[in-house]
Structure 1
Amino acid sequence: MSELYNHKVVEKKWQKVWDDNKAFAATDDYSKPKYYALVEFPYPSGQGLHVGHPRPYTALDIVARKRRMQGYNVLYPMGWDAFGLPTENYAIKNKIHPKIVTENNVKRFKEQLHSLGYSFDWDREINTTDPSYYKWTQWIFLKLFKAGLAYKKEMPINWCTSCKVGLANEEVVNGVCERCGAPVVRKVKSEWMLKITDYAEKLIEGLDHVDYIERVKVSQKNWIGKSQGAEVDFSIKGKEDKLRVYTTRCDTLFGVTYMVVSPEHPIIDKYKDELKNWDAIAAYRDEAAKKSDFERAELAKEKTGVQIEGLTAINPVNGKEIPIWISDYVLMSYGTGAIMAVPAHDERDWEFAKKFNLPLIQVVAKNGEEVDINAAAFTDVATGVLINSDFLNGLEVKDAKAKMIAFLEEKKIGTAKTNYKLRDWVFSRQRYWGEPIPIVHCDKCGYVPIDESELPLMLPEVESYMPTDNGESPLAAMTDWVNTTCPCCGGPAKRETDTMPQWAGSSWYFLRYTDPHNDEALASKEALKYWMPVDWYNGGMEHTTLHLLYSRFWHKFLYDQGVVPCPEPYQKRTSHGMILGENGEKMSKSRGNVVNPDDIVREYGADTLRTYEMFIGAFDLSASWSEDGVKGCRRFLERIWKLQDIMTNEEGYSSDLETKMHQTIKKVSSDYENLKYNTAIAAMMALLNDFTKKGSITKGEYKTLLILLNPVAPHITEELWQIIGGSGYVYEQTWPEYEEAKTVENTVEIAVQINGKTKGTLAIGRDDAKEDVIAKAKESIADKLTGNIVKEIYVPGRIVNIVMK
């Protein structure tokens, strides 16, 4: 009898063997076929890994291990996304330098990942806070700056009242900071911006050439928000200025009854002295400044606004004078900061118009009929015919749009326009723990890049990294570091004291893995040509919009610069579902439902945790944790262990299980490639039951089963391989192949019926002749054949029906 399976001894043993052998190091042999598997590198928090981390890491570890056995040179790397606010906030709270916090957290994370037996190539480990890494983050920024895609702009930003830092729109959730939960207000700051909008069309077009799950493509396209419409100029009565608006529905111009501009629109300040109700306008602007973009754009909120008394606009298609209002639901950061309001056909405009007693004009109708628009806006206008619209009357919507654009362009009051919701990327933070921006400001030369030979521009040591109340970075107080000379004229200049956001380092990290120790380039041309694009990238669904968009933008820019060899960074992108607490709720300390993976590894073993997280349910869906499920996976592995007690020394497959072996190889191989890890494990469980039922397993069958299970449970399979006398290591073996012909059962079970009612079943050969099948069927139910047989029916592979009187 075999000894009991001791996971603590076995797992430490094999982790040391893998380390000593550098078993999973990618090679520089570029003649081999390559496979680049990538998981999102984690932010190393003080809490360490949670049980959600192993799910994607194990999934791609399975793919990486399988590919190695299939003869590929596999790159499966890991690193640390270690700059950013969470570390700095922790450092401030606990009075520990962020650098020390980061080092401690990385050490803990790495120990945990190592304990789970992942086949990461640790020789390629990267850290975004390492100067040898962020040197190239700064280098990319300089490239963006020189290409006109990085610029500084004074603008209203989202300001976290607790973190005391500017936030991108995507970092504001329901009006609060996504990191700390504090209220977010509007504040005017001079911010570095990246012109991602220049790449909007390329970012959409590129999705046609990659293998992303559909919902990921949809989230990307929705965020970019491409639309086709027209820009239209509304004259301001008695002034030379015009208010330009963008609209997707220029066919409704005859229904415009008022205009709305953003409280920040420059037209307001320009004509301040002519506005009769300036005090009311100024007070409204002050209130709007306290709200985030999210709050202002929220559809459900009550509409507020102030009419601008002293300015009116002229509807360009009918010459009618219409009022101009300010309202916080119009954002200066979106479009032109001004809209034309068609209250009969837009719910938000309708609510605003009803509140302030503004006129309604229906201009699109189904079947040419008017409706009671005083009751509600008539928004079902994607199709229909135009009414109350002069030269557009009677035209279908599509034709009316085309005719209106022709009219606008002929009169030089508008033009066709493609627009995008995508906004330029706010790229600076007024904090310490981030990459220094390699720019100086000279009163004579303006913003000037430092010379590339001076990179990395090191993040200086500071006594205090507390955020400042005036909104400046803590670096601003370091005058010895700030004061420098202009690279252009040699005169006095000051360094930029804002730092880059956490998004910076994660926007190109996948490139550095290909050649992480290169001092001359972010990676060599040869390495990039060989390894890129990433073959399979898996990460959280929460990162499939912004991180994916930002990293694709940087990559496309680098492609245009001739730095990288392909236009898209990731050929395939998948996402995994969350692991919830046993109560079905998201794990959190406050709910008391957090599971520490260290506890599971200690009690049940890393292989049990890996197996359970792959068996818990469909990989792309959320699933609730179950302690009973963990125990069940441990029992499965113990049964695999005990198969050594019934192993025979035959190297081949037994005749009665040969078909099942080939079916299992086919099933597991396919399921590993299609994120169906739970059904792959179920197939191996079913095969295990067959061996147990039979009471024996050949050495050849055992070897195949161990190879199939190895990507999921690598420690126990390596140990068993050694125990049964397998040569070398499992990770060195060739992945099993199946023969299609042998996946088909040679026998089938059919029903035997009398007068259409089943009386029994019969096992027959798949190719048995009809006469033989009928004879066997009659023999099997001979005691029931008590009448006269009038007909014998055989449906091949399904039933024999004996018709009797």
Structure 2
Amino acid sequence: LRITAFADRLLHELEGLDWPAGIKLLQRNWIGKSEGAVIDFKIDKHEQKIRVFTTRPDTLYGGTFLVLAPEHPLIDLIVTEEQWPAIREYREKTARKSELERAELTKEKTGVFTGAHAINPANEQKIPIWIADYVLLGYGTGAIGGVPAHDERDLEFAKKFDLPIVEVVQPLSNEPALGFVGEGIAINSPIIDGLTTAKAKKKITKWLEERGKGKGAINYKLRDWLFSRQRYWGEPFPIFWENGRHHSLSESELPLVPPELEDYKPTGTGEPPLAKAKDWIRYSNKATRETNTMPQWAGSCWYYLRFCDPANESRFVGEEAERYWMGGKQAGGVDLYVGGTEHAVLHLLYARFWHKVLFDLGHVSKPEPFQRLVNQGIILGEDNRKMSKRWGNVIDPLDVIAEYGADAFRCYEMFMGPLEQMKPWSMKGVEGLSRFLARVWRLLMDENQAGEWQLSPRVQDVAPEKSQRKTLHATIKKVTEDIESLSFNTAISQMMVFVNAFINAPSVPVSAIRTFLILLSPFAPHIASELWEKMREKFTVTPADLTDQSWPEHDEGLLVEDEVEIIVQVNGKVRDRFRAPLGANEEELKATALGLPKMRELLAGKQIAKVVVVPNKLVNLVTN
């Protein structure tokens, strides 16, 4: 699949997403956009040229050798007869290594001279052509220009094989030029001597373009996506082959269902398991079906769209349903995606690509699938290690639920700390949340002598007191905002504040309790529903069910402080405090401070030289 055609968009459109900076950086690095130039090096005594991509065309005069990937197709044309044995042996060794092993920065550099030379287009000098396994055919052009004075790997290679080293960039600071990889001033480069790196890049690129020896270019690490697997479990491709060419099935032949096989193990011949279904493979007298299958990404890249319209039998999602669920001003369709960092550069990147293809085809209304991404932290064992059978620290949720209930389990998981953080499990913490839920229960319920729980007579249809209204609306505001920010732990803390404020009150207003149970229900749905039903037996509620209630809204006016705490200082040291009406004038604050019993005692026999009053904050009494 041509994911590279979307590389720029995948890179640029990250900016409009509310994703962790680290995930964005991982995707940028995976896409790996590099701006520079491609330069053609003519092979001495041959007609062919070797094309090299570099991000530093300003260092061209420092190029003293070329290195090709061992698989480069030009090698077979340029290797001299005496070098063939060494080249062949080196290629065989390279074939046994993974790309990861080959690209390892710390490994010792190896390579073999091909016996051929190329011409450096900047100075017309002959430079040797080598092969080395640290150059990968899949990145860039499969060839690099060796500039040992200003590249760490090239310097190691040049020192190992005694190749020339020419310094062509002078640092702006006093550090040595050899091994310098930053920007500086061009030296030993007649065309661009004295220019800064930025200007030197532009001038040498233009010079190459004018002479047909190179041009400006953009390169990506990202490669097109190999989208086939040789296994049974996977969607079969709706493709058939005829006379060596592939053709798509008509829509009337979809969906294509794989045949049932008694044995879907590998064939042993290199063919996929579907090759065993001889009748299914035969599409016509002249055509056969494709036997490769799609990878798991074929389903996981766009599953979320089906949630919008699961009963639609004619389309994966209807236009109206997609606009309704995925619409809005933001770039991404799904408002919130919670997932681990392990998805950063595979699932999340592939899903973005897949969604953009659907967007270009007009099937979806947004160019991005996921607007906001949150990476949840993992829960560690009680010993602060990752849960593992090896450590014997695995917590079985069913055991916790059996002892404390599902609500306590849910609430504790949310109360452990910020969602994104790694956190250790604690059974004492579960017990603490269980006690909190027991307090919620006792806030509304009393146990009679028969051991039966009944709605407490303290729950009454009365208006909340002023302080109760303030606590209620502070709780509405805090829980609502914390749910939006995924700060579930602090939302639960605020509900604890609410319970503490109401549990010893002589009367518990039913209106406040209704609102509280709505707030509690996403966190502890079972106990909230049970208490709601108990309350509804005595007090009528419309609509009846807890799940049908509208989410409450707070009244900001009830949260405005009408009193403030005033600090009282004597000679700059805090000695007492008192509460006063918001906006009380200086004389009122001064009189109250001087009338405090503690102040009368401290100031006995002393003369007050000055009184400093900061409205709504403090009174400072200065004595001689």
Compute the TM-score of the two structures, normalised by the length of structure 2: 0.92
From 370, 394, 408, the counterpart of 2:208: 408
8 Å CA contact 2:149–2:177 kept in 1: the answer is no
Residues 1:396 and 2:199 are matched in the alignment: no
Q: Give 3-state SS (helix, strand or coil) of 2:621's partner.
A: strand
Which residue in the other structure is 2:567 paired with? 751
CA offset at residue 615 of structure 1? 1.2
Q: Structure 1 pair 388/644, CA: closer, same or farther in 2 (3 Å)?
A: same
Structure 1 gaps, min length 5: 1-193, 486-490
Which residue in the other structure is 2:109 paired with? 303
Which residue in the other structure is 2:53 paired with? 246
Q: Match of 2:93, as an amino acid? A: E
Q: Give 3-state SS (helix, strand or coil) of 1:218's partner.
A: helix
Q: Which has the larger displacement, 653-662 or 688-697?
A: 688-697
Count the aligned residue pairs: 599
Q: Match of 2:344, as an amino acid? A: T
The residue correspondences of 1:760-771 to structure 2 (distance < 5 A) are 760-771=576-587
Q: Give 3-state SS (helix, strand or coil) of 2:93's partner.
A: helix
Which residue in the other structure is 1:666 paired with? 477
Q: Which has the larger displacement, 591-600 or 670-679?
A: 591-600
Residues 1:550 and 2:550 are matched in the alignment: no
Which residue in the other structure is 1:96 paired with? none
CA offset at residue 603 of structure 1? 2.1
Residues 1:215 and 2:26 are matched in the alignment: no
From 277, 282, 291, the counterpart of 1:497: 291
Residues 1:437 and 2:237 are matched in the alignment: yes
Residues 1:523 and 2:320 are matched in the alignment: no
Q: Give 3-state SS (helix, strand or coil) of 1:802's partner.
A: strand
Q: Give 3-state SS (helix, strand or coil) of 2:150's partner.
A: coil
CA offset at residue 710 of structure 1? 1.2
Q: Match of 2:132, as an amino acid? A: S
Task: Select the structure with the greater relative contact order (CA < 8 A; seq sep ≥ 6).
Answer: 1
Distance of 1:624 and 1:366 partners within structure 2: 49
Q: Give 3-state SS (helix, strand or coil) of 1:426's partner.
A: coil
Q: Structure 1 pair 352/723, CA: closer, same or farther in 2 (3 Å)?
A: same
Which residue in the other structure is 2:255 paired with? 456
From 593, 597, 600, the counterpart of 1:782: 600
Q: Structure 1 pair 368/680, CA: closer, same or farther in 2 (3 Å)?
A: closer
Distance of 1:427 and 1:253 partners within structure 2: 38
Q: Give 3-state SS (helix, strand or coil) of 1:690's partner.
A: helix
Which residue in the other structure is 1:642 paired with? 442
Q: Give 3-state SS (helix, strand or coil) of 2:467's partner.
A: coil
Distance of 2:292 and 2:77 partners within structure 1: 31
From 601, 611, 616, the counterpart of 1:792: 611
Residues 1:360 and 2:165 are matched in the alignment: yes
Q: Structure 1 pair 361/694, CA: closer, same or farther in 2 (3 Å)?
A: farther
How far does the alpha carbon of each residue in 1:242-279 deviate from its partner, in whole angstroms, 9 at most, with x for none? 1111111000011111111111111123446x442222
Q: Structure 1 pair 460/361, CA: closer, same or farther in 2 (3 Å)?
A: same
The residue correspondences of 1:530-609 to structure 2 (distance < 5 A) are 530-532=324-326, 533-609=333-409
How far does the alpha carbon of each residue in 1:637-670 deviate from its partner, in whole angstroms, 9 at most, with x for none? 1111111146431453321232222222211111
Distance of 2:132 and 2:408 partners within structure 1: 58
Distance of 2:123 and 2:231 partners within structure 1: 53
8 Å CA contact 1:228–1:418 kept in 2: the answer is yes
Which residue in the other structure is 2:184 paired with? 384
Q: Structure 1 pair 551/628, CA: closer, same or farther in 2 (3 Å)?
A: same
How far does the alpha carbon of each residue in 1:216-257 deviate from its partner, in whole angstroms, 9 at most, with x for none? 322222211112111111111111111111111000011111
Q: Structure 1 pair 392/716, CA: closer, same or farther in 2 (3 Å)?
A: same
Q: Match of 2:515, as an amino acid? A: T
Q: Match of 2:353, as an amino acid? A: F
Q: Which has the larger radius of gyration?
A: 2
8 Å CA contact 1:260–1:330 kept in 2: the answer is yes
8 Å CA contact 1:436–1:458 kept in 2: the answer is yes
How far does the alpha carbon of each residue in 1:298-329 deviate from its partner, in whole angstroms, 9 at most, with x for none? 212221211112x2111111111111111111
8 Å CA contact 1:368–1:387 kept in 2: the answer is no
CA offset at residue 589 of structure 1? 2.4
Which residue in the other structure is 2:527 paired with? 716
CA offset at residue 519 of structure 1? 2.4
Structure 2 gaps, min length 5: 327-332, 446-455
Which residue in the other structure is 2:95 paired with? 289
Distance of 1:239 and 1:413 partners within structure 2: 16
Which residue in the other structure is 2:151 paired with? 346
Q: CA RMSD in A?
A: 2.0
Distance of 2:460 and 2:4 partners within structure 1: 66
Q: Give 3-state SS (helix, strand or coil) of 1:569's partner.
A: strand
Q: Match of 1:484, as an amino acid? A: Y
8 Å CA contact 1:344–1:362 kept in 2: the answer is yes
Residues 1:230 and 2:71 are matched in the alignment: no
CA offset at residue 696 of structure 1? 5.2
Q: Structure 1 pair 782/562, CA: closer, same or farther in 2 (3 Å)?
A: same
Which residue in the other structure is 1:97 paired with? none
Distance of 1:354 and 1:695 partners within structure 2: 87
Q: Give 3-state SS (helix, strand or coil) of 2:375's partner.
A: strand
Q: Match of 1:371, as an amino acid? A: P
Which residue in the other structure is 1:483 paired with? 282
Q: Structure 1 pair 688/369, CA: closer, same or farther in 2 (3 Å)?
A: closer
Distance of 1:500 and 1:651 partners within structure 2: 65
Q: Match of 2:532, as an amino acid? A: W
How far does the alpha carbon of each residue in 1:432-472 deviate from its partner, in whole angstroms, 9 at most, with x for none? 11111222222x14122222221121122212222344443
Which residue in the other structure is 1:507 paired with? 301
8 Å CA contact 1:368–1:394 kept in 2: the answer is no
CA offset at residue 405 of structure 1? 0.7
Q: Structure 1 pair 367/552, CA: closer, same or farther in 2 (3 Å)?
A: closer
Distance of 2:169 and 2:268 partners within structure 1: 53
CA offset at residue 416 of structure 1? 0.6
From 677, 682, 686, the counterpart of 2:497: 686
CA offset at residue 336 of structure 1? 0.9
Q: Match of 1:799, as an amino acid? A: L
Q: Give 3-state SS (helix, strand or coil) of 2:595's partner.
A: helix
Q: Structure 1 pair 800/303, CA: closer, same or farther in 2 (3 Å)?
A: same
Distance of 1:468 and 1:290 partners within structure 2: 24
CA offset at residue 784 of structure 1? 2.7
8 Å CA contact 1:619–1:675 kept in 2: the answer is yes
8 Å CA contact 1:362–1:370 kept in 2: the answer is no
Q: Match of 2:100, as an amino acid? A: F
Q: Structure 1 pair 796/469, CA: closer, same or farther in 2 (3 Å)?
A: farther
Q: Structure 1 pair 694/779, CA: closer, same or farther in 2 (3 Å)?
A: farther
Q: Structure 1 pair 652/563, CA: closer, same or farther in 2 (3 Å)?
A: same
The residue correspondences of 1:164-203 to structure 2 (distance < 5 A) are 194-203=1-10
Q: Give 3-state SS (helix, strand or coil) of 1:683's partner.
A: helix
Distance of 2:174 and 2:400 partners within structure 1: 68
Distance of 1:724 and 1:551 partners within structure 2: 47
Q: Match of 1:656, as an amino acid? A: S
Q: Which has the larger displacement, 682-691 or 327-336?
A: 682-691
CA offset at residue 714 of structure 1? 1.2
Distance of 2:474 and 2:357 partners within structure 1: 47
Q: Give 3-state SS (helix, strand or coil) of 2:619's partner.
A: strand
Compute the TM-score of the two structures, normalised by the length of structure 1: 0.72
Distance of 1:591 and 1:483 partners within structure 2: 54
CA offset at residue 735 of structure 1? 1.4
Q: Match of 1:804, as an amino acid? A: T
